[in-house]
Chains A and B, each alone.
Chain A
Amino acid sequence: MAQGITLTQVLLIGLGFYIFHALSLGTTFSGAFYFSPLPMSLVVGIILGDVPQAMLIGAELQLMYLGIIAPGGARPADPSIAALVATSLSISSGMSPELAVAAAVPAGLLGEQLNNLTYIINGSCIQLADKYAEEGNSKGIFFAGAILPALPRIILTIPLMVIVYLGPTAGSAIINMIPNWLTNGLAVVGKILPALGISIAVTSIGKKNLLPYFLLGFFIVQYLSIPILPLAIFGFIMAYLHIVFTNKDDKLPSLSFDTGEESQVYSVLSKKDINKAFFIWWTFGESNHNFERYQAATFTMALSPIINKLYDKKEDRIAAFKRHLVFFNTEALFGSVIPGIAIAMEEQKSLGADISDNAITGVKTGLMGPVAGIGDTLTYGIILPIILSLFIPWAKKGSWIAGFAPPIVFAAITIPVGLALCRLGYKMGSKSVAHLLKLGIVNKIIQGASILGLFIMGGLAASYITVSTPIAFNVASIPMPLQETLDSILKGILPLLTVTGIYTYINKFKGTYFKATLLVFALGLILGAVGIIA
């Protein structure tokens, strides 16, 4: 047998998964691994020496996981685990991509349960951080918040390595065992699954009154066969025009956050201190996620060099560490404004201003929710799916770029925004959030990005949902394929019906992700086995 897998390859895959996904370092870098299967498919493809095949599988999975988001840490499935299982199974056993993708769906669902287990275990790290805070030991807090949480995450890695190791044997057994009708059925499931991902993405991106943009994207690609990237250019221009034409004010709000009004000047702290706090926040924003206090340890870690600088007395430092080790959970990118605000309040307090612990905690916990509402909507609900969509055509061609680029592009776009927000938070204090929201720019960006996103989703649906029917009628002994008749009525009517059907199921009948997945499997298997859909 040409295929197979060596122990070294298994260990390397485990290591790659651990470093890039399990450790979750760099929120918007590892965020691409957290929400997309493409980067992990590339890692496995490189190790097993078949990048083109890996990226093809990544592309299939990417379409079905396109709209996945995780507000408050609640994510329905783990795309990276699915990618790891499907890619290694397919390359090491020669299993077809359709079958490998079908095998990966339960892996993705189970993988999320493993993640939740680490979030529970990590609760004990935060209790250790409490102990170090009591001693005023900021290095200890760093150990408890950044180093120690890496250990439970090994739990994630070991079962996956076992699965990967057994892959070739299990894979061949499955291939030999599986009857023909099931193969046909699973092939149809594979064709419908992208419609599930696109429906979920449309649900999380779109306001209902913007849905015509989805149809526009869909029919432009159906009738004119435009590739996704040029389509995105049209979409961008259209989104811009929509905003301009519906804008009630004379001029568009400025893209700059600058206000001219700065209540805080760098007095004790320097720009470097703020930058450092932001980069600690960005690097470890999700790395010690736990169900007890979520990002409390990271928040304290980000502020601890500043706390050490501001407060000379040990008891003041201890008090400061303790007041930040309380429940905190926000979307880490837009949430960067909040460490900035807290830093400004700490600086004022250290200079003698009468700011109570409650005032600082109140601002933090008061702002974290509204900011997360905006951040989850924009960063993960719209921007990341758009970035990923643009690389799907590369993945379909088997190119490594589709796995390599998303984490880099996502980080490159978001780091400057996060840094600017953190600085704004410091300069304006708690007024910064009101200022940002009053500018109206946030809602305009959300609306523009929604339009672009929906338009691209329409294009993706037209390009990659390929359900068709093999049914043919004999009219006067001449076979008349039903598909041709359907095409002459409305091109792409079956893909469109598929995606609207799933969208309706999710939105009107409140179908959960899990139930929708089961439904797609059931329908696909039946329709495929009977031969209505191919």
Chain B
Amino acid sequence: MSKIELIRVDFRMIHGQVMVKWLKATGAQIIAAVNDDIANDPFLADIYGMAAPSNVDIKVFTKDKVIDYFNNNNSDNSKVLVLFKNVKDAHYCYEKGFPMEHLQIGGLGSGPDRINVHGPITLNAEDAKLLKDMNDKGVKIEFQQVPDDSKASLDKILKKYDFGLN
């Protein structure tokens, strides 16, 4: 079965931090980009597929397809970096049986209800609740932009900021 090196939530999906830093840090040969909108847009799916360096394969999946792929594909043993666009999608896939031990939060965008919790990485109450749920069920969740940067665990962040979960 494919070896999942890193599962990351990053609202920018594929961009410099992933392509320059995490790709090298993980040695991944496949990037699995999970997002229904991109997967259902032939133009964007095409661009994502072609944005890969020559030794890396970028595959775009819908949420349901990616669960299938990782649970039924036994022949391939490539190293994989999985990208989710948002916490909701990651939570959905986890609940439907996507194999997830670790989850990295690399960037969740900005908005009126979002506060910075680790450098530029933000969090809101809705995402905090979903992450805490996964955390309680045993997924190790850490916030980190790039390998050069420090990381912070969800526990630490929830202790520091109040999202009304307790």
List residues of A whose CB falls within 8 A of some B CB.
69, 71-74, 76, 116, 119-120, 203-204, 207, 209, 291-293, 327, 329-331, 362, 366-377, 381, 430, 433-434, 437-438, 443, 446-447, 507, 510, 512-514
B13 touches A (CB below 8 Å): yes
Q: Given that A72-B12, A374-B19, A507-B24 are contacting pairs, would A430 and B51 also be in contact in the complex, using a CB cutoff of 8 Å? A: no
Q: Is the interface of A mostly helix, strand, loop or mixed?
A: helix
**Among listed B41-49, B123-131, B153-161, interface-contacting one:** B41-49
Chain A residues positioned under 8 Å from B150 (CB to CB): 512, 514
Q: Given that A72-B107, A327-B109, A514-B148 are contacting pairs, would A377 and B51 also be in contact in the complex, using a CB cutoff of 8 Å? A: no
B99 touches A (CB below 8 Å): no
Is there contact, CB below 8 Å, between B12 and A329? yes
Q: Given that A71-B16, A291-B110 are contacting pairs, would A370 and B51 also be in contact in the complex, using a CB cutoff of 8 Å? A: yes
Chain B nearest CB, measured from A210 CB (Å): 10
Binary contact readout B2-29 vs A (1 if CB under 8 angstroms, 0 otherwise) = 0000000000111111111100110000
Nearest A residue (CB) for B13: A369
**Docked pose: A72 CA to B37 CA in angstroms:** 23
Q: Given that A71-B146, A73-B120, A116-B119 are contacting pairs, would A366 and B47 also be in contact in the complex, using a CB cutoff of 8 Å? A: yes
Chain A residues positioned under 8 Å from B164 (CB to CB): none
Chain B nearest CB, measured from A531 CB (Å): 33
- The interface size of chain B toward A, counting residues with CB under 8 Å, comes to 37
One of A120, A438, A443 near B53 (C-beta < 8 A): A443
| Contacting residues of chain B (119-151) with chain A, CB-CB under 8 angstroms | 119-120, 145-150
Is there contact, CB below 8 Å, between B21 and A71? yes
Task: List 10 A–B pairs whose Cβ atoms lie within 8 Å, in order of A's numbering.
Answer: A71-B15, A72-B16, A74-B145, A207-B53, A329-B12, A331-B16, A362-B41, A370-B48, A430-B43, A512-B149
Q: Given that A120-B116, A373-B18 are contacting pairs, would A368 and B12 also be in contact in the complex, using a CB cutoff of 8 Å? A: yes
Chain A residues positioned under 8 Å from B38 (CB to CB): 366
**Docked pose: A230 CA to B16 CA in angstroms:** 32
**Docked pose: A350 CA to B48 CA in angstroms:** 29
List residues of B whose CB falls within 8 A of some A CB.
12-21, 24-25, 37-38, 41, 43-44, 46-48, 50-51, 53-55, 107, 109-110, 116, 119-120, 145-150
Is there contact, CB below 8 Å, between B145 and A72? yes
**Docked pose: A456 CA to B147 CA in angstroms:** 25
Is there contact, CB below 8 Å, between A443 and B47? no
Chain B nearest CB, measured from A3 CB (Å): 36
A-B contact count (CB 8 A): 118
**Docked pose: A60 CA to B161 CA in angstroms:** 42
Chain B residues positioned under 8 Å from A71 (CB to CB): 15-17, 19-21, 146
Is there contact, CB below 8 Å, between B20 and A204? yes
Nearest A residue (CB) for B21: A71
**Docked pose: A509 CA to B55 CA in angstroms:** 23
**Docked pose: A69 CA to B24 CA in angstroms:** 14
**Docked pose: A331 CA to B13 CA in angstroms:** 14
**Docked pose: A19 CA to B20 CA in angstroms:** 30
Is there contact, CB below 8 Å, between B116 and A291? yes
Is there contact, CB below 8 Å, between A513 and B19? no
**Docked pose: A157 CA to B129 CA in angstroms:** 41
Is there contact, CB below 8 Å, between B16 and A372? yes
Chain B residues positioned under 8 Å from A369 (CB to CB): 12-15
Is there contact, CB below 8 Å, between A376 and B16? yes
**Docked pose: A331 CA to B116 CA in angstroms:** 23
Is there contact, CB below 8 Å, between A512 and B16? no
Chain B residues positioned under 8 Å from A513 (CB to CB): 148
**Docked pose: A371 CA to B120 CA in angstroms:** 21
Is there contact, CB below 8 Å, between A373 and B15? yes
Chain B residues positioned under 8 Å from A368 (CB to CB): 12, 15
Chain A nearest CB, measured from B112 CB (Å): 10
Q: Given that A73-B120, A291-B110, A373-B14 are contacting pairs, would A446 and B24 also be in contact in the complex, using a CB cutoff of 8 Å? A: no
Is there contact, CB below 8 Å, between B47 and A433? yes
Interface centre among B37, B48, B148 (most CB of A within 10 A): B148
**Docked pose: A308 CA to B53 CA in angstroms:** 39
**Docked pose: A370 CA to B20 CA in angstroms:** 11
Is there contact, CB below 8 Å, between A437 and B16? no
Q: Given that A119-B120, A434-B50 are contacting pairs, would A370 and B149 also be in contact in the complex, using a CB cutoff of 8 Å? A: no
Chain B nearest CB, measured from A243 CB (Å): 11
One of B18, B50, B120 near A437 (C-beta < 8 A): B50
**Docked pose: A381 CA to B17 CA in angstroms:** 12
Q: Given that A71-B16, A372-B15 are contacting pairs, would A447 and B47 also be in contact in the complex, using a CB cutoff of 8 Å? A: no
Nearest B residue (CB) for A375: B16
Chain B nearest CB, measured from A118 CB (Å): 13
**Docked pose: A329 CA to B36 CA in angstroms:** 22
Is there contact, CB below 8 Å, between A207 and B148? no
Chain B nearest CB, measured from A290 CB (Å): 9
Is there contact, CB below 8 Å, between B19 and A373? yes
Chain A residues positioned under 8 Å from B37 (CB to CB): 362
Q: Given that A329-B12, A369-B15 are contacting pairs, would A434 and B46 also be in contact in the complex, using a CB cutoff of 8 Å? A: yes
Is there contact, CB below 8 Å, between B19 and A443? no
One of A74, A366, A367, A381 near B146 (C-beta < 8 A): A74
Nearest A residue (CB) for B56: A207
